[in-house]
Copies of this chain bind each other. A is one copy, B any other.
Amino acid sequence: MIEVIQTISHMHQVADQLRNAGDRVGLVPTMGYLHEGHLSLITRALEDANQVVVSIFVNPTQFGPKEDLAAYPRDLDRDLDLIEKAGAKFAYVPEVEEVYPEGFATYVNVEGLTDNLCGISRPEHFKGVTTIVSKLFAAVKPHLAVFGQKDAQQVLVIQRMVRDLNFDVEVVVAPTVREADGVAKSSRNVYLTPEERQDAPALYRALQKGKALIEAGVRDPEEVVRTMRAMINATPYGQIDYVEAVDMDQLAPMSALSGQVLLAVAVYFGKARLIDNVWVEVPRKTPS
């Protein structure tokens, strides 16, 4: 049976019990409405941890004022069922009133890394993410936490936060889970109309094309981005938020592609905003 933990003090208690029993604790932070992507994070956590806590919390501070907080899909009973079947024994499901009590005033912020890509159209988003993830780390006291590669900027921001704030938590990155046609699994895919859903594979196709160009020797980020933009713009419904080729360390533009490169896209389909990315290792010298 899955144990549902609803208060911070109870979570602290369970965290101490698990650690005192010598368990290795993995955390999988989610906003619920679980799909196969989340379940793969649980499976990944269980590879390195013998006890896994899945948190379910639709975090208001990472939504902008005009975003989909109220509409965000929820189905707790189904989520708990899926978590149990995936092999996790604990669900941490705190109430928003306890997580953000009256007079709440403390935020964790990673400066710089959060200014570009998704940070441009969602200026307060990552401050909300790093604040809630800090709170989850303090509540659950995990040895490791698993995040999906789909949210690439989030992964890099959290890795920086963990290093900077000296959290004794290993950040594990799990690969993006995709539909048969390449669309990255996301709770927000339910927002798509059938017509928009037909356009959605263009994101991953564009990313694959960008990767292929780099692997064929293209080192000009402009050329890669231009090709990717054209592919997404060719769809009837997709409206580009951004298409970028940046270095993985600083998320900053490069004059010539080298080292670890992040190709990342964000595209609006009506009210839905989908993101996707691939990571490309560029050899420092082209083989002769």
Q: Which residues of A pack against B, CB within 8 Å?
A: 8, 12, 15-16, 19-20, 101, 103-113, 130-131, 134-135, 138-139, 141, 160-161, 163-168, 249-250
Given A105-B110, A110-B106, A112-B105: A134 and B168 interface contact (C-beta under 8 Å): no
Instruction: From B12, B105, B165, B168, give the contact of A111 (CB < 8 A).
Output: B105
- What B residues does A167 contact at CB under 8 A? 138
Q: Say yes or no: B168 contacts A106, CB within 8 Å.
A: no
Which chain B residue shows the least CB distance to A107? Answer: B109
Smallest CB-CB A-B distances: 6 pairs: A106-B164, A138-B166, A12-B168, A105-B111, A135-B166, A139-B166
> Copies per complex?
2
Q: Say yes or no: B101 contacts A163, CB within 8 Å.
A: yes
Q: Say yes or no: A165 contacts B109, CB within 8 Å.
A: no
- What B residues does A8 contact at CB under 8 A? 166
| Shortest distance from the beta carbon of A94 to any chain B beta carbon, whole Å | 9
Assembled-state Cα–Cα distance A165/B138 (Å): 7
| Shortest distance from the beta carbon of A161 to any chain B beta carbon, whole Å | 5
- What B residues does A112 contact at CB under 8 A? 105
Given A138-B168, A139-B166: A160 and B106 interface contact (C-beta under 8 Å): yes
Assembled-state Cα–Cα distance A266/B245 (Å): 51
Given A8-B166, A135-B166: A130 and B109 interface contact (C-beta under 8 Å): no
| Shortest distance from the beta carbon of A134 to any chain B beta carbon, whole Å | 6
Assembled-state Cα–Cα distance A141/B167 (Å): 10
Q: Say yes or no: A160 contacts B109, CB within 8 Å.
A: no
Assembled-state Cα–Cα distance A131/B141 (Å): 19
Cross-chain pairs A/B with CB under 8 angstroms, 26 sampled: A12-B168, A15-B168, A19-B20, A20-B20, A101-B163, A101-B164, A103-B160, A103-B249, A103-B250, A104-B164, A105-B112, A105-B113, A105-B160, A106-B109, A106-B130, A106-B164, A106-B165, A107-B108, A107-B109, A109-B109, A131-B165, A134-B165, A135-B164, A135-B165, A138-B166, A139-B166
